[in-house]
Amino acid sequence: MRARRLRPERRKQRGMTLLEIIVSLAILSMISLLIYGAFDSMSRGKKGEALRVERAHQGRAAVLRIARELQSAYLSLHTPTVPALQTRLTAFIASSSTNYDRVDFASFAHRRTEASSHESDQAEIGYFVVRDPDHDGKMDLVRREQVPMDMDPKRGGVVNVVAENVESFSLRFLDPMSGLWVETWDTQQAATGQYNRLPLEIEIKLTLAEVPGAAAATYTTKTTLPMQQPLSFAIPR
């Protein structure tokens, strides 16, 4: 029996072979992978840029806030002569370490959140670096505020994070008496020659550590303290 030949019109109606389907699927897969890679690259680039912008904003805002509140630092001689009647203490205490300095001071920087609250603008403020308890090796710059003020200028109050992943936080103080920059300041110690007087100028330097998507960055500024003399309205000069 002779095999019958397919008619030309029936050859044209023949479907795709398995090999053709496999090749088509491979091409579609490659195109899909290329498209996914392009979108994933754009997404990662967008997230990295957003992280860099956020960290830059965080660093600048932290430095400017510290400078603004230091400008309102003050000392007061308005204390009762009887120690038992004293309820608050104004001071300016700054300590230095290898990477993380600390400063605690009295300032007219408190902001009332309620118009009818019985609060003044006086507050006890501190800036220092602490370890994040939830992440190993992560250090954060925090702000401490105590209202009303008390007798301990370095403890108490509410602590909030102002900058994350801090590599270093350093302060320098210009002594108006000697004209020299020093690393520490303590208005409570007469032996240091800084008793009851403030530095003329303060240099603030904050370095945020490198994280994925953002390189290490340093933010620096200087600020002047206008209230050089302790408040003593009741004492004639």
User: What is the structure's pLDDT at 99?
Assistant: 93
Tell me: the pLDDT tens digits for 38-50?
Answer: 776 676 666 666 7
User: What is the structure's pLDDT at 10?
Assistant: 54
User: What is the structure's pLDDT at 210?
Assistant: 85
Dist CA 149 CA 153 (whole Å): 8
**C-alpha closest to that of 164 among 142, 136, 134, 133:** 142
User: What is the structure's pLDDT at 54?
Assistant: 85
User: What is the structure's pLDDT at 186?
Assistant: 96
Dist CA 188 CA 181 (whole Å): 19
User: What is the structure's pLDDT at 88?
Assistant: 86
User: What is the structure's pLDDT at 22?
Assistant: 84
Residues of the chain with pLDDT under 70: 1-15, 40-41, 43-49, 213, 234-237
User: What is the structure's pLDDT at 1?
Assistant: 47
